[in-house]
Amino acid sequence: MRRVFALLMMIALALPAWAEDRPRAGLMWNRSGLPATLPLVVKTMPGRDYVVFLAPQDGGDPVMAGYIHGGEFFRLLVPPGTWTVLFAHGREWQGEDALFGPLTEWTRMDRPMSFGAGVARKQGHIIRLIENGGQMQIVSAGPLDLCQGLTLTTERIDLDDKRDDPNRLPTPGLRRLDNDLDTRSRVCG
């Protein structure tokens, strides 16, 4: 009886090792070749995890993927362009190839989403997913526009031109301007 119990314990302890640890939330990979600078915010319910995929709007393999821990704040910077957005979701992560195993469910945006940037504005999106009657559905998808502003800080620095040469005459009034340019983003209102 002890041996049977020991064997059952070994099997029970080994089962969780077969499932992979879930990845940390955030970017899994970017194969687009483009810089990821535009915001995608996804709000989800707790109880399951998600993988968001961005694929070209005219078809083809996904170019970007991000892992979402259900119920936690999620923001991913994506490349400019118009993308089809898909979500794989489930409860037990099985790895990048199997995703959530045979119980992986899929949710797809009805139409492609455009991400872009101008001189003073970045255009992204917010997506909210909820579970309704056992089915995952998108209840809201809207724009997320970020306005960008530049702040220029100038500091005047008086130069002491005496240096270490005692035979050199001082040159009064020499100054240098030290400029610092800072970009700040905020949600457009």
**Mean pLDDT computed over 107-128:** 90
Tell me which DSSP letter residue 103 carries: G
What residues have CB less than 8 Å from 42, skipping those under 6 apart? Answer: 50, 52, 68, 74, 76, 126, 127, 128, 129
Cβ neighbours of 79 (radius 10 Å): 17
Q: Is the dihedral of CA 13, 14, 16, 22 positive or negative?
A: positive
Beta-bridge partners for 88: 51, 106
Taking residues 137-159, report their average pLDDT: 76
Tokens 């089809």 label which residue?
Answer: 84
Instruction: Tell me which fold the domain 17-149 belongs to.
Output: Immunoglobulin-like (2.60.40)
Could you tell me the two tokens for 168?
């050199």
Q: State the DSSP code for 44.
A: -
The Cα diameter of the chain in Å comes to 100
What is the Cα 66 distance to its own chain's centre?
7
Q: What is the pTM of this model?
A: 0.70
| DSSP for residue 35 | -
Distance (Å, whole) CA 102 – CA 90: 10
pLDDT, tens only, 6-20: 444 554 444 444 446
Domain edges within the chain: 17-149, 150-161+171-187
For residue range 66-98, list pLDDT tens digits in order.
Answer: 999 999 999 999 999 999 999 999 999 999 999
Q: How far is CA 169 from the centre of its chain?
A: 58
